[in-house]
A and B are shown apart, each in its own frame.
Chain A
């Protein structure tokens, strides 16, 4: 960890202004990912802006019947919220499938969206990684990539996004609200929030420098059966090999989003039309254009099998 300066922000726009003003600044909230990365000098901020004091920790109804989740709402609180459990069960289930109780007590809604990849080469500063050090190359391609991406990859990066929560947000068509240093707000659809790696895998989101997430809003409830199926190498405390967030309606139509497949929560809206035809047709449409390695090719049949399990569970 490199030495850094520290300040506590008073308002969201002041935090954004401080981030623009100070070179090498980063926001810190729960710190469950950032501090680990700083200890390994994967992240080396010169200045930290603590946003924990901002008034962004409530969950409130929106005027159109949805829910507005403050950026600082902790994962534990979000998962336990009665409205979330009743109307957005997939989100609650995704949250409790992630990390551990202790981490969920600290981790925030915005911070969860901004988690960095768990690619082992990103974590190892003796190895090339275009995400950590642009232009240095990708050690994961041709290396240990069993749990890396099969969709939307590039020659520069095959990392995955590790969040479970974001996958549920994606299936729910959430919107990310932000503020910038000038106090201007904007709303970014979750589909556009995370980016594919392309040639710039170090740029992971649509956020502009200094832009601060203030909330995530969920549209009004869509009903249906909510399922979050996370497939992993042990029963708890492991990142998803694949995960499926599903909202299935009684008529068999529904929505699916996937974790463990790509650099962002993966969703192919067009593939959802295949749902009534079953898992095979749906998986084929979701996985069109997949690029696999010998180690992660199993994710393709695994997705089909997991979609099948989810559809069976929805019927039951």
Chain B
């Protein structure tokens, strides 16, 4: 099904099942431990042995020698695989660094070898006996030092310019020119990267934790030089990804090599926490300069956003300025994205790449501008709303209700109680402040397919290689099929995460929910047509409801229609030019109250409230869970997350969950989430948009703005740790 004109009325609009806050249908399996994750596939791959990856001890250089004789002779050891005996291990295009080092080492903890043994303990102990001799060479690890050497990245749109920014900025009566920095961050999802791999002859099966199965097949094919048809990937349950599992990583590649080395027997590999931080990808640090010129009434006349980030040679930038291209009006504007070479582990996508860190800078700058203007920060944003793409005014937004979010959010939060003068509200030792920020994330759509069948009992089964990374895909796909086929949700079976199923959008970039359900919509439409054909019903006058197919005065149960042989249809949704002819984005507004300890500078978030406009909300319960999770992650970005680079050795030092801090329960207060009641017919037949990443966008800036309002300390280097807070506080005695 081609989607190239706005959706009209369709069966989803009935909202009998879609749009209802139903519990996740995979919830029982997850809470009873019967949902099996990649490392737990004893059912499918019994008697697996264990692989343990040896990572590079240097950040850059060459492996001169690997001596694994002692490791090989250790108890239980079955094989040791290195670049010298692995066979073909090519670099897939999606990877910046190779999944197996040798002879060159490209970053610290890049896989150098895998030790395979009968037990996990034997493999781990023997891994310590692999002796690697390196020739270390100097590397670049300091973004600030490499900033001046940064270049235009070859992909994307590194430079944009409309009107005369420099002239307008010079003339603007009110100006802001500030630089903000954001640190490297780690995805820190709950389930580590993990794979069980087995070979049967030339056929490879991977039970792995992955967001995008089609990419996994493609990249494994390229890496090992084997046909795609010989690779079967299963990933029915994923314990979080946040972008770190968009592509196969060393766990999958090394498990496949390890299994091949022992004759195809299943091998399990899970990365350790330290390996997750230095062996895989991370969100790159940025340096961002914001310049905004405005009239005294707050109208922005000039806006510029420049960003510098780094990556390994061949890698890409953090596209922080993208958000500024679309969020606010302003006739004169420019953005610039620059990329430095750094020899740190690969930088790549993490939940809302671009926007998440871009808004940390832009929305803090807007707060500073509002203060200079003596204007309410909400009002400043309303004044600068735009209903068209500011770079190309003929291109309207498909649907944009940022202003509705701002007004609704402000009211729900009680924004009118905020004292605009910092440091004025005190409760004992605590200084109380309120802050806000806009939320913005592009709505991306991806081709997505599914197969839907009905059996003789009237049970509907959906199969698609879509993944559920904790987001609720199982449930909204089930709801979509139930709505389309007119059956209750408990009459739908949803099968996901198998590369033998029709190719879906996969999960990433908040495109999965809308795209994959639209694919199911397409397949259900095809199935409805074939039911109509089989029954001789007029396909333009047909209703699927209560487990029956009705047309005119005829009514046949779905079970009867399917018959003994059942009925099945497969289709995919393909998106046309609507994302080009219209700007498609999701919007929101965050409001946060914090308390700052006037003595110690500790910051505690007391209250969070957000209003969001993201098209039709397919399941308010799972959507809310996505948003509160993202808001929590945004608190982490604002206050604590910081993968610290040791610039001498070139690696992330605080590489475990004790030292790389993410929020714990005690850090997260009551979170109020409100969804605007809207649909976006230009987004898909579901009239939905992405919501999984919107919640993290802007929230960190709202926290930072609240900290400023509480104590008057403006911190432009994230995270806002207490050492930075007390530096700006008055003495206590």
User: Please, which residues of chain A bring their CB within 8 A of the CB of B124?
Assistant: 1, 39
Give the residue among B124, B646, B661, B666 with the most A Cβ atoms within 10 A: B646
Q: Are B723 and A302 in contact (CB under 8 A)?
A: yes
What is the bound-complex CA distance between A236 and B665, given in angstroms?
A: 8
User: Please, which residues of chain A bring their CB within 8 A of the CB of B75?
Assistant: 3
Given A233-B721, A309-B732, answer yes or no on A144-B644 (Cβ-Cβ < 8 Å): yes
Give the residue among A126, A237, A301, A305 with the most B Cβ atoms within 10 A: A305
Among residues of B, the one whose C-beta sits closest to the C-beta of A316 is B428
Q: Are B664 and A237 in contact (CB under 8 A)?
A: yes
Q: Are A309 and B600 in contact (CB under 8 A)?
A: yes
Q: Are A144 and B667 in contact (CB under 8 A)?
A: no
What is the bound-complex CA distance between A3 and B126, given in angstroms?
A: 11
Any A CB within 8 A of the CB of B545: no
Shortest distance in angstroms between A284's beta carbon and chain B's nearest beta carbon? 11
User: Please, which residues of chain A bring their CB within 8 A of the CB of B640?
Assistant: 233-234
Q: Are B665 and A305 in contact (CB under 8 A)?
A: no
Among residues of A, the one whose C-beta sits closest to the C-beta of B274 is A124
Q: Are A304 and B732 in contact (CB under 8 A)?
A: yes
Q: Mark A282-316, 1 if CB is under 8 A from B, else 0.
A: 00000000000000001001101110110010000
Q: Are B600 and A41 in contact (CB under 8 A)?
A: no
Given A3-B75, A231-B722, answer yes or no on A280-B604 (Cβ-Cβ < 8 Å): no
Q: Are A236 and B667 in contact (CB under 8 A)?
A: yes
Q: Are B664 and A279 in contact (CB under 8 A)?
A: no
What is the bound-complex CA distance between A120 and B653, given in angstroms?
A: 7
| Chain B, 426-451, CB within 8 A of any chain A CB | 429
Any A CB within 8 A of the CB of B654: yes
Q: Are A234 and B653 in contact (CB under 8 A)?
A: no
Among residues of B, the one whose C-beta sits closest to the C-beta of A295 is B723
| Chain B, 564-614, CB within 8 A of any chain A CB | 597, 599-602, 604
Q: Are A234 and B726 in contact (CB under 8 A)?
A: no
User: Please, which residues of chain A bring their CB within 8 A of the CB of B664?
Assistant: 234-237
User: Please, which residues of chain A bring their CB within 8 A of the CB of B57?
Assistant: 126
Any A CB within 8 A of the CB of B121: yes
What is the bound-complex CA distance between A127 and B124, given in angstroms?
A: 19
Any A CB within 8 A of the CB of B128: yes
Any B CB within 8 A of the CB of A241: yes
Shortest distance in angstroms between B423's beta carbon and chain A's nearest beta carbon? 16
Q: Mark B643-672, 1 if CB is under 8 A from A, else 0.
A: 010101100011110110101111100000
Among residues of A, the one whose C-beta sits closest to the C-beta of B729 is A305
Shortest distance in angstroms between A196's beta carbon and chain B's nearest beta carbon? 24
Shortest distance in angstroms between A102's beta carbon and chain B's nearest beta carbon? 13
Contact of B723 among A39, A279, A298 (CB under 8 A): A298
Any A CB within 8 A of the CB of B145: no
What is the bound-complex CA distance between A165 and B277, given in angstroms?
A: 31
Shortest distance in angstroms between A36's beta carbon and chain B's nearest beta carbon? 9
Q: Are A127 and B649 in contact (CB under 8 A)?
A: yes
Any A CB within 8 A of the CB of B382: no
Q: Mark A76-95, 1 if CB is under 8 A from B, else 0.
A: 00000000000000000000
Q: Mark A266-283, 1 if CB is under 8 A from B, else 0.
A: 000000000000111000
Shortest distance in angstroms between A138's beta carbon and chain B's nearest beta carbon? 12
Q: Are B659 and A234 in contact (CB under 8 A)?
A: no
- A interface size (C-beta, 8 A): 40
Q: Are A234 and B732 in contact (CB under 8 A)?
A: no
Give the residue among B597, B599, B653, B726 with the most A Cβ atoms within 10 A: B599
Shortest distance in angstroms between B276's beta carbon and chain A's nearest beta carbon? 15
Q: Are B666 and A308 in contact (CB under 8 A)?
A: no
Any B CB within 8 A of the CB of A142: yes
What is the bound-complex CA distance between A124 and B654, given in angstroms?
A: 10
User: Please, which residues of chain A bring their CB within 8 A of the CB of B648?
Assistant: 142-143
Any B CB within 8 A of the CB of A238: yes
Shortest distance in angstroms between B115's beta carbon and chain A's nearest beta carbon? 14
Any B CB within 8 A of the CB of A118: yes
Among residues of A, the one whose C-beta sits closest to the C-beta of B647 is A143
User: Please, which residues of chain B bring their CB within 8 A of the CB of A308?
Assistant: 599, 732-733
Shortest distance in angstroms between B275's beta carbon and chain A's nearest beta carbon? 12
Any A CB within 8 A of the CB of B727: yes
Given A1-B124, A279-B732, A304-B733, answer yes or no on A233-B722 (Cβ-Cβ < 8 Å): yes
User: Please, which residues of chain A bring their CB within 8 A of the CB of B646?
Assistant: 139, 143-144
Any A CB within 8 A of the CB of B144: no
What is the bound-complex CA distance between A234 and B297, given in angstroms?
A: 40
Shortest distance in angstroms between B725's beta carbon and chain A's nearest beta carbon? 10
Contact of A1 among B125, B654, B666 (CB under 8 A): B125
Contact of B726 among A124, A144, A232, A302 (CB under 8 A): A302
User: Please, which residues of chain B bring their CB within 8 A of the CB of A304?
Assistant: 732-733
What is the bound-complex CA distance between A121 and B659, given in angstroms?
A: 12
Contact of B663 among A126, A146, A234 (CB under 8 A): A234
Shortest distance in angstroms between B427's beta carbon and chain A's nearest beta carbon? 14
User: Please, which residues of chain B bring their CB within 8 A of the CB of A237?
Assistant: 664, 666
Among residues of B, the one whose C-beta sits closest to the C-beta of A235 is B666
Any B CB within 8 A of the CB of A193: no
Given A235-B667, A298-B727, answer yes or no on A306-B721 (Cβ-Cβ < 8 Å): no
What is the bound-complex CA distance between A124 and B723, given in angstroms?
A: 26
Q: Mark A226-249, 1 if CB is under 8 A from B, else 0.
A: 000101111111110100000000
Contact of B653 among A143, A231, A301, A305 (CB under 8 A): A143
Given A126-B57, A233-B640, A301-B726, answer yes or no on A41-B128 (Cβ-Cβ < 8 Å): yes
Given A1-B124, A142-B648, A279-B732, answer yes or no on A309-B429 (Cβ-Cβ < 8 Å): yes
Any A CB within 8 A of the CB of B639: yes
User: Please, which residues of chain A bring their CB within 8 A of the CB of B274?
Assistant: 124
User: Please, which residues of chain B bring their CB within 8 A of the CB of A120?
Assistant: 653-655, 659
What is the bound-complex CA distance between A231 and B646, given in angstroms?
A: 25
Q: Mark A187-209, 1 if CB is under 8 A from B, else 0.
A: 00000000000000000000000
Shortest distance in angstroms between B132's beta carbon and chain A's nearest beta carbon? 10
| Chain B, 7-47, CB within 8 A of any chain A CB | none
Contact of A305 among B128, B656, B658, B726 (CB under 8 A): B726
Shortest distance in angstroms between A118's beta carbon and chain B's nearest beta carbon? 7
Contact of B599 among A121, A123, A305 (CB under 8 A): A305
What is the bound-complex CA distance between A17 and B659, given in angstroms?
A: 37
Among residues of A, the one whose C-beta sits closest to the C-beta of B108 is A126
| Chain A, 34-77, CB within 8 A of any chain B CB | 39, 41
What is the bound-complex CA distance between A229 and B599, given in angstroms?
A: 11
Given A233-B722, A235-B667, A305-B600, answer yes or no on A144-B661 (Cβ-Cβ < 8 Å): no
User: Please, which residues of chain B bring their CB within 8 A of the CB of A1?
Assistant: 121, 124-125
Q: Mark A133-159, 1 if CB is under 8 A from B, else 0.
A: 000000100111010000000000000
Q: Are A233 and B656 in contact (CB under 8 A)?
A: no
Q: Are A235 and B653 in contact (CB under 8 A)?
A: no
Q: Are A235 and B600 in contact (CB under 8 A)?
A: no
What is the bound-complex CA distance between A1 and B125, given in angstroms?
A: 5
Shortest distance in angstroms between A295's beta carbon and chain B's nearest beta carbon? 8
What is the bound-complex CA distance between A146 and B727, given in angstroms?
A: 15
Among residues of B, the one whose C-beta sits closest to the C-beta of A280 is B733
User: Please, which residues of chain A bring their CB within 8 A of the CB of B663?
Assistant: 234
Given A143-B653, A238-B661, answer yes or no on A305-B125 (Cβ-Cβ < 8 Å): no
Among residues of B, the one whose C-beta sits closest to the C-beta of A44 is B128
Among residues of A, the one whose C-beta sits closest to the C-beta of B721 is A233
What is the bound-complex CA distance between A17 and B344, given in angstroms?
A: 50
Shortest distance in angstroms between A117's beta carbon and chain B's nearest beta carbon? 12
User: Please, which residues of chain B bring their CB within 8 A of the CB of A306?
Assistant: 599-600
What is the bound-complex CA distance between A305 and B723, given in angstroms?
A: 12
What is the bound-complex CA distance between A126 and B665, given in angstroms?
A: 33
User: Please, which residues of chain A bring their CB within 8 A of the CB of B732?
Assistant: 279, 304-305, 308-309
Given A144-B653, A234-B667, answer yes or no on A241-B659 (Cβ-Cβ < 8 Å): no
What is the bound-complex CA distance between A298 and B646, given in angstroms?
A: 20
- Additional 19 contacts, C-beta under 8 A, given A124-B274, A146-B644, A279-B732: A3-B75, A120-B653, A120-B659, A139-B646, A143-B648, A144-B653, A229-B600, A231-B600, A233-B639, A234-B666, A236-B665, A236-B667, A238-B661, A278-B733, A298-B723, A305-B599, A305-B601, A308-B599, A312-B599
What are 6 sample pairs from A and B whose C-beta atoms fall under 8 A apart? A1-B124, A143-B646, A144-B653, A229-B600, A236-B665, A302-B722
